[in-house]
Amino acid sequence: MRDDFDYDDDFAYNDYDDEDEDDDFGMTFEEDLYLMIREKLRDTIQEYKTQYPALKKLESAVSSFKVNAKNTDDSKFYPLAAKLLSEHIKPLAQDSEEIQEIYDNMQTDIARFKNQRAHGYEGELYLTD
What is the per-residue pLDDT across 17-62, written as a single tens digit (0 to 9) for each? 444 444 556 889 999 999 999 999 999 999 999 999 999 999 999 9
Please state the φ and ψ torsions of residue 113, each to the nearest 5 degrees: -65, -35
Give this prediction's pTM. Answer: 0.77
Q: What percent of the chain has pLDDT over 70?
A: 80
Residue extents of the structural domains in the chain: 27-113
Give me the torsion for CA of 54, 62, 34, 23, rounded to 10°.
Answer: 110
